[in-house]
Each structure stands twice: as structure tokens, then as C-alpha cells.
Amino acid sequence: MRSTAGGNSSSSPLRYALIRLSLALLIIALANIAGYFFYQRFDLTSEKRYSLSPSTKKMMRGLKDVVTVKVYLAGDLNAGFTRLRESVRHTLDALRAYGGSNIQYTFIDPMAVENLDERKALITDLINRGIKPTNLTTVSNSDSKEQLIFPGATVAYGGREMPVQLLENQIGYSPVEIINNSIILLEYKFANAIKKLTQYRPPRIGFLRGHGELSEIELADIKQTLQQLHYEVKDFDITQNYYIPDRFDAIVIAKPRFSFLNPVKDKEEIHKFKIDQYIMRGGKVLWLIDGTNATMDSLRGNPTGQVVMANELGLEDMLFKYGVRINNDILQDINLNLPIPLVVGQMGNAPQTRMFSWYYFPLLVSDNTHPISRNLDPVAAFFASSIDTIKKAGIRKTILLHTTQNAKAQLTPSRVHFGILQGKPNPAYYNQSELPVAVLLEGKFESCYKNRMRTEYLAATDTIEQLRFIDQSPETKMIVISDGDIIRNEVRSDSTAFPLGYYPYTRQQFANKDFILNCIEYLTDNSGIIETRNKEVKLRLLDHLKAGEQKLRWQLINVAAPILLIVAAGFVWNWWRKKTYVR
């Protein structure tokens, strides 16, 4: 009997341990099975930095084929680029969490290719595909190391490929802020590239022709960039067509110079009418309209300056009906502006030039968080005018770009001349703050021709769907910019185009191209992907002064506290064992 009792007593703890182990394994197995069928990610950060937007999740779940991402940001990087690389990895992991095996990615270090010829060929191929390299200088106590890195990626789907530039190029930001802003835009850049590659047809953009708009070479860079981003770009002559077809997802009216009022009476406003009815059918428009006739060519060709007049295009009543008015003034900004070269003397046979701040070329900024203008560099403007917004029921207005606090709107007619550069500007005269230059309008617009159409015309066109008069639009949007040159690229002497936003005199790149692309993306985007540009990742920087003052305390907390906790836990464990097992 004692032997039997002793055997039962010794086997009980082993049996209980096996039961506990079996239950633990069963719970783990059930949790894995549940996780396979009921997937859920938990993002405990305050700004939800590891969470995707609903539109991105929906797109990832709907993928029909494999998206292959090759990231070229690899190798021995400093702390900032290492953080960017790991954020890229987290973003791609988040995309794969919803896209499953349809999201595949790999990291490649181009500089790790041992064969020199192969490495050069790969670098050339990456540059040709739009992946721009960056020189990274790492300074240590002993030496300084410089290396070439490629902060970019390619996204491929269905035999097509798009480049993605991971690093933002922002003027006036610190390296830490640039890295942070680059991390903010990662989801948008990857999601937007995947959207472009997977959409059933590319968005169609029509550039209006017929009223002296910017030439083909002046629009060359923006058109080429749109085509590289898988937009379908077409010119549309409004004078040769009865209406603007709704196959265009958006139209661009880029700096018309001739009036829309036809001198032939029975066709007086027919071109305006075509634009109006395109909007009434849900069309989107990017207006780039000059408020005055000021040009540098006229100014340089006349020693007394140019008399600047209002730009009479006949669009005033139309834009007023939609909710804005482009004023017949010309803006000056003494705080942020572009310089121009002027001849100040002669040395031998060579003219001597000097750069002067030209107040009529303001650099436009934005202080809102709208996805079009968020985290943008300044946008270069040339003889811009101000915009007034008009109260219209149901129309939402957002100021996208404006001047700084030290600006002035000079009314026309007035004379513009170089004499204003002879002395320092008086800030008292430049006291108009944040004058709007670009405005987004959203809502249901009322036709400019409501209650103005003849009964016989309405009866004649009512039977033709494309020509039937509509007096109110569905929910749609348009962007009005009071400077047509914002979309114009500079032209080299050999008739080739500079990149849009590049200013040859200072060799600076401004954000004109990014701004225009964001405008077109916002107008044509029905998926909501562009809203991911509003994502925020807060910078939690170390307070070096406080860290120095509290250095000893935090060293004790980080080093001594864990040891004390382990020792205390050991004492508690031994005390509990003695209390439980010692008789």
C-alpha cells in the first residue's frame, strides 16, 4: 500500500505538468488558426504610423497579380538613412499584410556588385529608370567616408514598371526633417505607384488649345512626366470640336492669351459654353490664368518699363459664378522671391551682371495640411495676381498657395520697371499678408449660363445627349491658379526643355512640378489614395540639455534598476517555493 501511494504521489506533478504543457500547446495552435482566418494588426503609436489608410487596404486586398518591389536603399548607411530604410521595410510589410503573397519585395545594394563593369551598368540603368543617386558623407572621429547611395525603388506589375523616389528633396529643411517627411510619404508613394500600374485604364488629361495657350516646348516637361506616370495626355482644340468629351478625366487650361469672346455675335461665348458644360457633366479643370499682361520680354525691351494692363480673357463672369475672382493686379513679395540678372557695367567688351531680388517673382508657400500642398517646397511664380474667393452655397474653398506676410498687390494699369531695385524696399508698403494665388473649389457648381439660354436652342439640343444643356453639376472639383507660368518650363538655347520648376539663373529646383502633379492627381483620383499624403509621423527629438542634466539618474535607472528587479524577483520566487513545498 505504501509503495502504491508513493507511486501516485510522485507521478501527480508530472501528470499536471504534461496537462499544462498540452493546454499551452493547444492554446497556441488555436491562436494561430484564429489568426490565419481573423487577421488583425495593432498599432499602438499615437499617430498610427504603422497603419494603412482604408483606400490602401482595399486596393491591396483587390490585387489580381504579383507586385514586385525592388528597393535600392541598402548597404552601410548612417542613422537617418537606416531609419528611412527600416520605415520602407515596415511600409512594405504592412502592404503585404493585406496583399498577401501578391506583394513581394527585396533590398538590393547596387554598390555591392563586385564586378566593376556590371556595377557601372546597373548604376546607369537605375539613373535611366528615374532612380536618382545621392552622395552620403559619414563623418566619424577618425575619418570621413563618402559613398553613393540610391534612395529609390522600382514597382513592377503586369510587365510594367514605375520608379519611386524615396527621399524628398526639400529646400530649407534639416536632414532630420527631410528624412521624417520622406517617411510620411512612403505609403502614398508606393500605393500611388501600385494604383497607376493596376488601374484598368490610365487617367486621360486634355490640354486645351485654341486661345494662345503655352506652346508644346513650354509644356514639354510636365507632359513627359505625366506620360511616365502612366497618364494619357492629349491636346484638345476647343475651336474644332462641338463639345469637350467626358472621356477626359480632367482638362488643363495653361495660360491662354487670346480672349474667349468671339467677335462673331452668334458664336460669342461658344468656347466658354463648352468648358461650362464639361464642368456641368462632372468634368474637372485646372485653370492657370494670368490676371495681367506683364512679361519679362516687354520689360527688358523698354528702358522705361512696361505699362501693365488687365488681361481681358472674358472668363471673369464664369469664374465668379464658380466662386473665385482673379484680380487685375500684380503681386510683389519682398520676403521670398527669385533674383534676376541685370547688367550693371562693362569691363572691356564683356558686360558685368549682378543678381537682384525681383519682387515680382514671388516664391509661394502653403501652411495648410491639404494633400496637394502638404510638405511642399516653395513654388516659383512669375508676375502672379491675387485671387478673391466668392461666397457660394455648397462650394468648399481651400487656399493651396499664397505669398508670405510681406507682400503687396499692385493694381493695374501700372508701370513695372527696374528702378524699384535701386533702393531697399520699405516694409511699411508691403503689409498685405498671405495673398492667395491657388485655390481649390469643390462642390456642385451652377452653370454660368443658367437662365440665359434661348428657348429655341434648348429645344434643338435637348435631343442630343452630348449637347443637352445642364444647369448644375454633380459633385466635382477644380483648381484655379492666377499665374500661368507655374506650369511653364524654361527652355534652353538649343530648344530643349529644362525640368519644370528649375530656375537656370540660380540653378535651383522649386516645387512647381510636384505641385502641378499633385493638383492633377487630386482632380483625377477617385480612390482616395492621395489622402495618405496627410499621414503624420511626429519627430520626438532628444532634449540634449535635459539629457545632460539628468544623465546620472537615467544611467542608474537603465543599468541598476533591471538588476535590482531581477534580484527582487529571485527573492520572491524562493520565498514562494519555500512556502509552498517545505513542510
Average pLDDT over residues 508-512: 92
Q: How far, in Å, CA of 348 to CA of 105, rounded?
A: 62
Residue % of the chain over a pLDDT of 70: 86
Position 362 confidence tier, pLDDT thresholds 50, 70, 90: very high
Beta bridge partners of 205: 233, 250
Q: Would you state the pLDDT for residue 10?
A: 55
Q: Which residue has the higher pLDDT, 173 or 206?
A: 206
Position 2 confidence tier, pLDDT thresholds 50, 70, 90: very low
For the cut 70, the answer to whether the pLDDT of residue 171 exceeds it is: no
What is the 3 state secondary structure string of 515-578? HHHHHHHHHHCCCCHHHHHHCCCCCCCCCHHHHHHCHHHHHHHHHHHHHHHHHHHHHHHHHHHH
How do the domains of the chain map onto residue ranges? Answer: 1-38, 54-197, 202-510, 545-581
Residue % of the chain over a pLDDT of 90: 39
Q: Would you state the pLDDT for residue 32?
A: 77
Non-local CB neighbours of 416 within 8 Å, separated by 6+ positions: 294, 299, 305, 306, 308, 330, 360
For the cut 60, the answer to whether the pLDDT of residue 555 exceeds it is: yes
230 Ramachandran zone, left/alpha/beta (phi>0; psi -120 to 50):
left
* pLDDT tens for each residue of 174-193: 777 788 888 888 888 899 89
Q: Would you state the pLDDT for residue 425?
A: 87
For the cut 50, the answer to whether the pLDDT of residue 1 exceeds it is: no
Q: Where are the beta strands (DSSP E) in 108-219?
A: 134-139, 144-149, 152-157, 160-165, 204-209
Q: Are 113 and 75 in contact (CB under 8 A)?
A: no
* pLDDT tens for each residue of 207-220: 999 999 999 999 99
SS3 (DSSP) at 510: coil
Q: Would you state the pLDDT for residue 545?
A: 64
- State in words which class domain 54-197 has: alpha beta
Q: Would you state the pLDDT for residue 325?
A: 96
Q: Would you state the pLDDT for residue 580?
A: 74
Question: Which of 229, 233, 225 lies closest to 249 in space, CA to CA?
Answer: 233
Average pLDDT in the chain: 84
SS3 (DSSP) at 336: coil
Q: Which three cell numbers stand for residue 52?
A: 494603412
Position 262 confidence tier, pLDDT thresholds 50, 70, 90: low
For the cut 70, the answer to whether the pLDDT of residue 508 exceeds it is: yes
Q: Would you state the pLDDT for residue 519?
A: 95
Q: Would you state the pLDDT for residue 457?
A: 63
What is the number of residues in the chain? 583
CA angle 17, 19, 21 (to 5 degrees): 70
